[in-house]
Amino acid sequence: MLPASIPLSWALAVSAVVFVIGVVGVLVRRNALVIFMSVELMLNAGNLAFVAFARHMQSLDGQIFVFFVMTVAAAEVAVGLAIIVNMFRLRETVFVDEINLLKG
Amino acid sequence: MAPVLFVGFALLLVLSSVMVILHKNPVTSALFLVSAFCSLAGIYLLLHAEFLGMVQVIVYAGAIMVLFLFVIMYLNLGRDVEGGLALALRRGFGYLVGLGLLGIALTWFARGWSAGPAAPPPESPAPGNTQAIGMLLYSRYLFPFEITSVVLLVAMVGVIVIARGRRGGIPEAPDMPEAIPDTPADRGEAPPATGAAPPAAAAPKRSVEGS
């Protein structure tokens, strides 16, 4: 009944579902920190697709790409959280619909 | 055995992800995100990416989530106040977009999609996953690896410059004109701070004294 190894389509389906959850989180929530967590979810969904294809192709290049994505994600989180902290100092809020300095 | 474990980890991952975006409390969201990352690490192990599984736990569940929790508690965000018709409309729009995306993804899967033949497993017994990744990282991907270090350095300096505040390090000007929000002193101060790391590293102390 069950396959001997994990099919590629299963991993890709899980990746797609997690990515969609991340998209919904970005669109639905208004807390900037939770939006950042949703972005992390999307990045991890992409990583999962990379790893699944690396397994499928019997090649390590996909895993190297995941390594780089993790590095960039760490840098992105650090910069983004610094911006959020700075914005909180200025506006006393982290809700993205109350941060409308650029609205004309 | 592996598919059963995969289904278990996948269910845990999806449930944790849903709880991340649904829970009102950001701290709880962050803890569910830790759970999601750990189950993803389990999936990596099942997909024979052992090194990435370990790095996932250390970097994501360790470093990045500590950063998230630190900021949440530093800003003292207890709850996410919700309400209002516009917000409900936007929320419904968000769920609709998500359902549409999920429908697109499922349609792709249902349309007789196939991934081509899987590559045969290598004949010779492969070295350890970490060793193989290291060999590849320091030979073919050496230049991207070095670029990564520059990315991290730029992020580090940039975070320090951003987080020390707008007027960090500059003594308070008594008669600053109110009409100009961004004073020339600000613009003149910024470039040397980004160029040299040691002054930027020393800046937070000065900003604490200044504010």
Q: What is the pLDDT of residues B30-46, one digit of tens each?
A: 999 999 999 999 999 99
Spell out the long-range contacts of A53-60 with Cβ–Cβ below 8 A and sequence spacing 24 or more. A53/A8, A54/B47, A54/B49, A55/A6, A55/A8, A55/A11, A55/B47, A55/B48, A55/B49, A56/A8, A56/B115, A56/B118, A56/B119, A57/B118, A57/B119, A58/B118, A58/B119, A58/B120, A58/B121, A58/B122, A59/B119, A60/B132, A60/B133, A60/B136
Rounded to an integer, the average pLDDT of A68-75 is 92
- pLDDT number for residue A22: 94
Q: Are A96 and A80 in contact (CB under 8 A)?
A: no
Q: Are B141 and A62 in contact (CB under 8 A)?
A: no
Looking at A54-68, A75-89, B29-43, B73-87, which range is the least confident one? Answer: B73-87
Q: How confident is the model at residue A71 (pLDDT cuts 50, 70, 90)?
A: very high
- Give the closest of B47, B51, B129 to A52, CB-based: B47
Helix (H, G, I), strand (E, B), or coil: what is residue B180? Answer: coil
Look over chain B and give the mean of its residue pLDDT values, rounded to a whole number: 77
- pLDDT number for residue B37: 94
Q: Name which of A2, A15, A27 to mutate to probe chain B: the one with the most chain B Cβ atoms within 10 A of its Cβ.
A: A27
Report which of B59, B97, B58, B37 is spatially closest to residue A25, judged by C-alpha positions.
B97
pLDDT tens profile B69-124: 888 888 877 655 655 666 777 778 888 888 888 888 888 777 766 777 777 766 66
Q: How confident is the model at residue B182 (pLDDT cuts 50, 70, 90)?
A: low
The total of other beta-carbon atoms located within 10 Å of residue B60's CB is 25
Rounded to an integer, the average pLDDT of B18-31 is 89
- pLDDT number for residue B211: 40
- Residue type at A85? V
Instruction: For chain B, give the percent of residues with pLDDT over 70.
Output: 69
- pLDDT number for residue B194: 45
The residues facing A31 across adjacent strands are: A95
- A:B CB pairs within 8 Å: 219
Q: Three-state SS string across B36-62, please? A: HHHHHHHHHHHCCCHHHHHHHHHHHHH
Q: Which residues contact B91 (CB under 8 A, 6 or more apart)?
A: A28
Q: Using alpha carbons only, how large is chain A's radius of gyration in Å?
A: 18
Question: Given a cut of 50, is residue A91 above it in pLDDT?
Answer: yes
Contact B137 A67 (CB under 8 A): yes
Residues in B closer than 8 angstroms to A28, CB to CB, are 21, 90-91, 94-95, 98
Helix (H, G, I), strand (E, B), or coil: what is residue A95? Answer: strand
- Residue type at B103? G
- Residue type at B83? G
- Residue type at B70? F
ipTM score of the complex? 0.91
* The length of chain A, given as a count of residues: 104
Indicate yes or no: pTM above 0.80: no
Cα–Cα distance measured from residue A52 to residue A58, given in angstroms and rounded to the nearest whole number: 10
Helix (H, G, I), strand (E, B), or coil: what is residue B73? Answer: helix
Q: Name which of B46, B47, B59 to mutate to probe chain A: the one with the most chain A Cβ atoms within 10 A of its Cβ.
A: B47
- pLDDT number for residue A95: 83
The total of other beta-carbon atoms located within 10 Å of residue A14's CB is 24
Q: How confident is the model at residue B207 (pLDDT cuts 50, 70, 90)?
A: very low
Question: Given a cut of 50, is residue B195 above it in pLDDT?
Answer: no
The residues facing A95 across adjacent strands are: A31
Rounded to an integer, the average pLDDT of A60-78 is 92
- pLDDT number for residue B7: 92
The alpha-carbon gap from A75 to the nearest alpha carbon of chain B, in Å, equals 5
Token representation of residue B103: 């429908």
Q: Name which of B15, B16, B21 to mutate to probe chain A: the one with the most chain A Cβ atoms within 10 A of its Cβ.
A: B21
pLDDT tens profile B141-151: 999 999 999 99
Q: For A95, list phi and psi in degrees, rounded to 5.
A: -85, 125
Q: How confident is the model at residue A57 (pLDDT cuts 50, 70, 90)?
A: confident
- Give the closest of A7, A72, A86 to B165, CB-based: A86
Question: Given a cut of 50, is residue B206 above it in pLDDT?
Answer: no
The more confidently predicted of residues A41 and B120 is A41
Looking at A36-40, A92-96, B106-110, B204-208, which range is the least confident one? Answer: B204-208
